[in-house]
Structure 1
Amino acid sequence: MQPLRREKEESPAGRLLRLTAERAIRYVDDVGARAVAPAAADLAGLAGFYQPFPFVPCAAAEAIRQLDELGSPATVATTGGRYFGFVNGGMVPAAVAANWMAAAWNQNAALRVMSPVAAELEEVALRWICEALELPLDWAGGLVTCATMANFTALVTARHALLKREGWDVTEDGVFGAPPIEVVVGGEVHASVLKALSMAGFGRNRVTIVEADSQGRMRPDRLPRLAERTIVCIQAGNVNTGAFDPAEEICGAANAEGAWVHVDGAFGLWVRVSPKYAHLARGFEKADSWATDAHKWPNAGYDCGVILVKDGAALRASMGITAAYLEPGARREPMCHTPEASRRARGVELWATLKSLGRSGLCELIDQTCEHAQKFAEGLRDAGFTILNEVVINQVLVSFGSPEVTRHVIRRIQEERTCWCGGTVWQGEAAMRISVSSWATTADDVARSLEAILRAARECGAVPMNDE
C-alpha cells in the first residue's frame, strides 16, 4: 500500500502572490468598463498613503491591500480601450503576464553572467524588431527606458563616430577642443530630441532648424549644406500629425556627404511592418541610427525604449564600461550598449509581446488603430468640426472653433471621463489630439468616445462649421 502523498503547503510568499494576482486580475477584467480617469474622491483617497514612516514591519498582505484599495481607483485606465492621450500604448496580455514572471525572476540585465536568459531574450527581441521593420541586420542596439534615452544614446554614438573620423577620441578626451559638429533638425522636431541634444552637449540653441511643411515634415529643399561632421535628425511619425519626414531624399543627400542620419521613430517607425502603411516610412532604412518605443505601438508595457545603430563599434565605445570586478564575455553584453549598467530585464516583456503578436498580429494592431483614427476623423468632420491634419496613421487633430472653446471641450471631456484626450497647439492653433495606440480599443470604444466628444462639444457651445 502506497503512503498518501501530502500536498506541499503553500509558502507565505506564494499566498501573497496568489492574493495579489487575484487583485490584479480583477483590475484587468474591470478596466475596460470603468471611467478612464479617476474621480475627485479617488484622488483625495491618495492622502491615505501619507503616513509617518512605520517604526515596525507591516504585513505584506496589508501593504498590497492598501496599494489596491487606494491606488487602483486613482490610476488612469491606459490599459483600457478609451485612453487616447500622449501616444501611450496599452499592454498586450502576454506582456502583462511576462512582467509578472520577470518580477518573480528579478534579473539584473547588465551582464550575461548575471542573467543568461535576460541577455538572450534581449538579443532575440532586437533581432526580431530589425526583421519586422526591415532594418539592416548587421545592427547593434539595446533596450533603454524610452525614446528620449534612445535618442540620447544614438546622438552620443554619432558624436563618437564622427569625431573619430577626425582623429579625436571623445570618450577619452571629452568635447573641449573637439572639432565642431553641426546638428540639423526639422522645424517640428520632438522635444525629446532637443532634450537629448542638450544632455549630449550639443545644446538646444546651436542646432540648424530646417523649415517644415504644413504637416510638420522637414523640407528637403531647405536642407543646409551637409558635411562629414553633420548629424541630421529626422522623424518617423510627427507626434501631432503622424507625418513622416521624406527620408529617401534626406538620407540620399546626407549619405552622399558622409553625414550621420538619426531617426526619431518613437511610434511611427513601426508602420514599416504594415503593407498598408509601410510606404510612409520608405527610406528610413538608409539612416545610421534609429530610436523607437516598444511601449507605444507594440504595447509591450512601460518602460521599454529601443536603440539600434549600424556602427556597433561606435555604440560600444560610447557606452562601454570596465572595472576590475567586471568580466564581460566574448558575446554581446547588454550593459555595453546602453547608458545604464544595472537595469531590469525589459527584454522579457518585449520578447513575449513580439512572440504573442507575430508579424501578422503586429500588423493588425497597427492597421486597426489607424482605422480607428480614421473613424474619429470622419465622425468629427461629419459633425462639422475641423480636422487640422492629414490623418495618415493614428493621430487626429481637431479644432472646435476658437482656442477658448477648444480648450473648454477638452476639459469637459477629461472631466466626464468616458474617454481621455489631450490638448496641443498645432502651428499656432489650439487643438485636441486623439492618439489611438492600444490593442484594446474596439469599434464600440470609438463609437462611445465619439458620442462623448460630440456631447461635450455641444455642452461647451462649439458651433459646427456647417451651422455658421
Structure 2
Amino acid sequence: MSQDLLNIARERAERYLTEIDARRVFPDEAAMTGLEEFEEIFPEQGTTGGQVLELLDRSGAPATVASAGRRYFGFVVGGTLPVTVGANWLATAWDQVASSKVTSPVMDKIEQVTSGWLLDVLDLPRESVVGYVTGATMATFTALAAARHKLLARQGWDVEARGLFGAPEIKVVVSDEVHVTVLKALSLLGFGKERVVRVPTDANGAMDISRLPELDAMTIICVQAGNVNSGAFDPAGAICDRAAPVGAWVHVDGAFGLWARASKELKHLTAGVEKADSWATDGHKWLNTPYDAGVVICRDQQSLYNAMSVSAAYLREIDSAAQNYMPEFSKRARGVEIWAALKFLGRKGVDELVTGCCHRAGVFARGLEELGLTIQNSVVLNQVVVSWDSPEKTEALMQAVQKEGTCWFGPTVWKGKAAFRISVSSWKTTEEDIQLSLQAIKQCMVAVIEETQ
C-alpha cells in the first residue's frame, strides 16, 4: 500500500511538471474557487491515502502558482532543476534529522562536502563555516547573532547569558535600500528595525560610500550583493577596507546576487565581497533548488558556535559537532538538494545558469523599451524595474498581465515611483519565453489604452 501511494504521488507530480508550462502562471478564478473543497469540518473518520492525494491533485494543483515554470518573473524565485526535485523526494523518504553526525551520518558527510563546494564556487574564505537554514532571513539572523556575540564579548558582555538589558550599544548600519529580511532579522535579535543608520544610495540603488558613517568596533554594517529591485551591488570591498581596521563586522545580504561570483562574466560586480565577515544566500533562488534552502556562511566559526550553542546532557554528541550547529535542532536534509544541484551542474553549469539568466534579462529589458515602457534601473544582473507613463497605467498594465496569465510579475516602488519588477531566475526560461511574454505585455498595453480612452 505504501509503495502504491508513492507511485500515485510520483505519477501526479510528473504530470504536473510536464504540463506546467502549458498552463496559466497564476491560477484563474475557477481554480481559486476549487480550493473551497478543502473547507470541511475535521472528520471523525479518516480516509484512504489515495483519496488524500487525489484531492490535493484535483483541487490543489490547479490553484498553485507555476513558479517552477518558464515564465514566472516574480519575487526572485528560481525554478527547480529536476535532479533537485528527485533529491528532495529521496531525502524526504530518508526522513533524516540533519543536525549532526549522530542523527544522520549521511547528511553530515554530504553537508561537509557541499560546504567546501560552496566556498569554492563562490570563492569565499575557505576557513569559513557553512550552515543550511530555511532561507536568507534565517541565514542573516544566524550570521548577525554571531556578530552580536563577537562585538559584545569584546566588551566583556555575555549576551547569550545576560541578554541585551544593560548591554553596550551596537550601532547597525544598513543601506537605504536594505531588504526587509535583514530588518526582520535585526528585529528578532533585539536591535530593532528603526534603530539603524541608513546610508543613501546612488541612482541604481548601491550604497553611496561617501555617505558612510564612522565605523568602530561596536558597528555591524549590512551590505547588499544584488539589490532586490535593481540588482545593484554595494561597494563591498571599499566598505570592508574601512571596517576591518576598526573591527566592525560586515555582513553581506547576497540572497541571489552572491551567485554572480560563480559567473566569469559577472564576478567583477562582487569585487571585495570576500573581505566580509559573513554572508547569506539561497539555493532556492538562483541555484534552482526546491524550497526551502538557505545558506549562512561565517568566517568566525567560534563566534557562530558560541552564539548558537546550548548545553544538555542528551545533546552532548550533537553539541560537539560545531560545523553542523545551526538554529534548528529539527533540521530537514535540505543540504542534499544544494549538493545535487552543484553535482549536476558543475562549475561550468552554474556559470551558464547565472550568466544566461542575466543575458535574458537584458533581452527582456530591450524588448520592453521597444514597446514604449521605461526601464528604471541599469540592468546589471537579472532584475528589471519597469514603469509606464503614469502610476495608474503602470498598475493597470501589471494587473492586466497577471490576469492574462502568460507570465507573472509583481509591483514595486523604485526611487519613490510606482513600477513593476521582473526577475529572470529560472533555468527553464528561454528567449522564446521572453518573446511570448513581450507579446502578451504588448496586447495588454493595447487593452489598457482602449479602456482608458
Structure 1 equivalent of residue 208 of structure 2: 219
Structure 1 equivalent of residue 160 of structure 2: 171
- Looking at structure 2, the residues matched to 294 and 183 of structure 1 have their Cα atoms a distance apart, in angstroms, of 27
The Cα of 1:331 is off from its aligned counterpart by 6.7
1:253 matched to 2:204? The reply is: no
**What is the 5 A alignment of 1:284-295?**
284-295=273-284
User: CA, structure 1 residues 330+35, in 2 after alignment: closer, same or farther (shift >3 Å)?
Assistant: closer
**What is the 5 A alignment of 1:386-397?**
386-397=374-385
Structure 2 equivalent of residue 281 of structure 1: 270
- Looking at structure 2, the residues matched to 211 and 39 of structure 1 have their Cα atoms a distance apart, in angstroms, of 41
Judge conservation of contact 2:108–2:324 (CA < 8 Å) in 1: no
- Looking at structure 2, the residues matched to 432 and 58 of structure 1 have their Cα atoms a distance apart, in angstroms, of 45
1:344 matched to 2:297? The reply is: no
Paired amino acid for 2:283 = A
CA offsets per residue over residues 97-146 of structure 1, 9 Å max, x none?
A: 00110111111112211111112212221221110010001011211111
- Looking at structure 2, the residues matched to 138 and 99 of structure 1 have their Cα atoms a distance apart, in angstroms, of 28
The Cα of 1:84 is off from its aligned counterpart by 0.2
Paired amino acid for 1:61 = G
CA offsets per residue over residues 149-181 of structure 1, 9 Å max, x none?
A: 111111111000111111111112211111111
3-state DSSP of counterpart to 1:17: helix
1:14 matched to 2:31? The reply is: no
- Looking at structure 2, the residues matched to 166 and 388 of structure 1 have their Cα atoms a distance apart, in angstroms, of 45
**What is the 5 A alignment of 1:322-333?**
322-328=311-317, 332-333=321-322
Judge conservation of contact 2:310–2:319 (CA < 8 Å) in 1: no
Paired amino acid for 1:153 = T
Judge conservation of contact 1:119–1:334 (CA < 8 Å) in 2: no
**What is the 5 A alignment of 1:40-51?**
40-51=29-40
Paired amino acid for 1:209 = R
- Looking at structure 2, the residues matched to 25 and 223 of structure 1 have their Cα atoms a distance apart, in angstroms, of 52
**What is the 5 A alignment of 1:147-186?**
147-186=136-175
- Looking at structure 1, the residues matched to 235 and 441 of structure 2 have their Cα atoms a distance apart, in angstroms, of 34
3-state DSSP of counterpart to 1:233: strand
Paired amino acid for 1:184 = V
The Cα of 1:238 is off from its aligned counterpart by 0.3
CA offsets per residue over residues 171-193 of structure 1, 9 Å max, x none?
A: 12211111111111111111111
- Looking at structure 1, the residues matched to 51 and 397 of structure 2 have their Cα atoms a distance apart, in angstroms, of 41
Judge conservation of contact 1:127–1:137 (CA < 8 Å) in 2: yes
Residue 446 of structure 1, aligned match among 434, 440, 443: 434
The Cα of 1:327 is off from its aligned counterpart by 2.5
Return the index of the structure with the highest Cα Rg: 1
- Looking at structure 1, the residues matched to 22 and 14 of structure 2 have their Cα atoms a distance apart, in angstroms, of 14
Paired amino acid for 1:14 = Q
Structure 2 equivalent of residue 436 of structure 1: 424
The Cα of 1:335 is off from its aligned counterpart by 5.4
1:125 matched to 2:114? The reply is: yes
**What is the 5 A alignment of 1:77-116?**
77-116=66-105
The Cα of 1:384 is off from its aligned counterpart by 2.1
User: CA, structure 1 residues 459+330, in 2 after alignment: closer, same or farther (shift >3 Å)?
Assistant: closer
Identity of aligned residues (%): 51
Structure 1 equivalent of residue 392 of structure 2: 404
3-state DSSP of counterpart to 1:306: strand
Paired amino acid for 2:12 = R
- Looking at structure 1, the residues matched to 119 and 100 of structure 2 have their Cα atoms a distance apart, in angstroms, of 22
The Cα of 1:442 is off from its aligned counterpart by 1.1
- Looking at structure 1, the residues matched to 112 and 180 of structure 2 have their Cα atoms a distance apart, in angstroms, of 29
Judge conservation of contact 1:112–1:333 (CA < 8 Å) in 2: no
- Looking at structure 1, the residues matched to 247 and 162 of structure 2 have their Cα atoms a distance apart, in angstroms, of 23
Structure 2 equivalent of residue 299 of structure 1: 288
3-state DSSP of counterpart to 1:396: strand
Moved over 3 A (4+): 329-335
Judge conservation of contact 1:320–1:335 (CA < 8 Å) in 2: no
User: CA, structure 1 residues 334+43, in 2 after alignment: closer, same or farther (shift >3 Å)?
Assistant: farther
1:362 matched to 2:345? The reply is: no
Judge conservation of contact 2:262–2:350 (CA < 8 Å) in 1: yes
The Cα of 1:299 is off from its aligned counterpart by 0.5
The Cα of 1:344 is off from its aligned counterpart by 0.8
3-state DSSP of counterpart to 1:48: helix
- Looking at structure 1, the residues matched to 129 and 88 of structure 2 have their Cα atoms a distance apart, in angstroms, of 25
Judge conservation of contact 2:137–2:184 (CA < 8 Å) in 1: yes
Structure 2 equivalent of residue 141 of structure 1: 130
Residue 235 of structure 1, aligned match among 213, 224, 247: 224
Judge conservation of contact 1:262–1:290 (CA < 8 Å) in 2: yes
- Looking at structure 2, the residues matched to 330 and 59 of structure 1 have their Cα atoms a distance apart, in angstroms, of 41
Paired amino acid for 2:442 = L
Paired amino acid for 2:23 = R
The Cα of 1:332 is off from its aligned counterpart by 3.5
CA offsets per residue over residues 354-412 of structure 1, 9 Å max, x none?
A: 11111111111101111110011111112222110000010001111100000000000
Judge conservation of contact 1:401–1:462 (CA < 8 Å) in 2: no
Judge conservation of contact 2:305–2:322 (CA < 8 Å) in 1: no
Structure 2 equivalent of residue 8 of structure 1: none
- Looking at structure 2, the residues matched to 19 and 226 of structure 1 have their Cα atoms a distance apart, in angstroms, of 59
The Cα of 1:321 is off from its aligned counterpart by 2.3
- Looking at structure 2, the residues matched to 421 and 330 of structure 1 have their Cα atoms a distance apart, in angstroms, of 44
Paired amino acid for 1:288 = D
Paired amino acid for 2:241 = G
Judge conservation of contact 1:369–1:437 (CA < 8 Å) in 2: yes
Paired amino acid for 2:59 = L
1:418 matched to 2:409? The reply is: no
**Superposition RMSD in Å:** 1.4
3-state DSSP of counterpart to 2:313: coil
CA offsets per residue over residues 266-322 of structure 1, 9 Å max, x none?
A: 000000010100000010000000001110000111001110001100000111122
Structure 1 equivalent of residue 369 of structure 2: 381
Paired amino acid for 2:309 = G
- Looking at structure 1, the residues matched to 248 and 206 of structure 2 have their Cα atoms a distance apart, in angstroms, of 20
Structure 2 equivalent of residue 76 of structure 1: 65
Structure 2 equivalent of residue 3 of structure 1: none
